[in-house]
Structure 1
Amino acid sequence: MWAYVDSTRFFQIFGNLLDNALKFSQPDGTIWVDFSVIPGENGSGSVAALSVRDTGIGIDPTILPELFEPFTQADRSLDRSRGGLGLGLSVVKSLVELHGGNVEASSRGINLGAEFKVTLPVCEEITTLDNELEIIEAAKKSLKILVIEDNEDSAVSLQAVLEHFGHEVSIAKNGILGVETAKKLEPHVIICDIGLPEMDGFAVAQELSKDSKFTRSILIALTGYGSQEDRQLALKAGFKCHLTKPVDFEILIAEIDRYFDEVLSN
């Protein structure tokens, strides 16, 4: 059975799911990994389904609808000593959807285990030559990108998605580190949160605008506020693009691609 996937991201997806299953299971618990093919209906193609099921502490049903949201710290119990699930699952969801697939979670409740199922469209056999050409083409479009974001869920999700598209991605966790990292790396693209601690995104953009090295860099603002006034403030500060959270990855990639030829020609 064949599916068109980025092998690195594929292992990251199931690595996260297996890690969570281990983390939330008792030492004598059981974890199952199942694979099946679901035939297509009404002209749709078949999909491959891979699931990870455990006998662990389960998930509160009220959490399930928001479990994959990147800004939800969704624990499977009140025992926070085992860590949250928000980070890993938001990355899983982003990467699965980039592959044209879907991920869903189910649980009968606390202490009744949980199951995570990933479905991906299947395809005809892929030749090695086709893969090599894809890799070569992706390498030609690789850009240096800096993500300045204090929310770890958001930062890691952005990094995973952008690296999937072949870009070289670094992360800075606040505005001051963002400016320092930008001056050191001189990235083609800088994606910056507005509501940063110590030094906000507007100040970051204004500081970088003073340096001629960043005259041709692409500054993209990320914010939870999307009014016309917010957009105008971002553009005035030096951003070329203003996107609202949670970020739509298709729009973000489209914006980066739109400036791609301009960046390389400079």
Structure 2
Amino acid sequence: MAGAGGLPAIPVALSSASVYPLAVHDAFALAQDLGYDGVEVMVTNNSVSQDPHQLSALSEHYELPILAIHAPTLLLTQQVWGRAWTKIEMSAAMAAEVGASTVVTHPPFRWQTGYAEEFPEGIARIATEYGVDIAVENMYPWKVRGREAKAYLPHWNPIPEPYERITWDFSHAAIAGMDSYEEIRTLGTRLAHVHLTDGTPNGRDEHLLPGQGQQRCAEALGHLAASAWDGVVAVEVSTRRAKGAGEREDWLAETLRFARKHLGH
């Protein structure tokens, strides 16, 4: 069944994070070659990822929609776009400009005082202003010498918080010891976006190919298809260990096949 714009009911996008350390244009090229339905752009230090005009040009050239923007709220992108609220607002503005319906963001870090306390109300206001979903991603506990360190405020788990829209990441769930299948079923309409990957509860953010870890990825995708979910599944796997472009392409093609099989495409 096709959705709006000729896309499948649940489109499968390629996250630009999946081609790291290659550039954004490589993500578009690979997505087109492999038959993905669109792209999720992670905003990084790469200038193209920050420029809506260049992103729109890539989208037009490769005939692939930009389905989500990942705000630069990682530790590695703390210097991108300055203050915390500026990151969220510029991401929302860029999403609206390039036609992406979703902005993915991480929960606030505990040292981001002011921003953290006002986060639920602030993202709701910005989402309304720009007409996009701002979907807060599930993270995981940080451990220092075997003990949990409080890295996020109020918490790494967005489910109990008053966020209207949530992004679910299977690798992060694995670290946290959570069952993605059960959590996705519980989230219902709060679930806006999915990062398809896998992991094991060994404390490392592995971003394995689905099926290589211990998460119930297949069951979760099957549930989304059966429940007529209207979000996007974005492939966010690590290909940094790939030996050349051929192996990276094979891994991303395999993940696309997995997604489409279990979504019933």
Is the TM-score greater than 0.5? no
Which has the larger Rg?
A: 1
The higher relative CO (CA closer than 8 Å, separation ≥ 6) is in 2
Task: Write 1 or 2 for the structure with the bigger share of strand.
Answer: 1
TM-score, reference length from structure 1: 0.30
TM-score of the aligned structures, taking structure 2 as reference length: 0.30
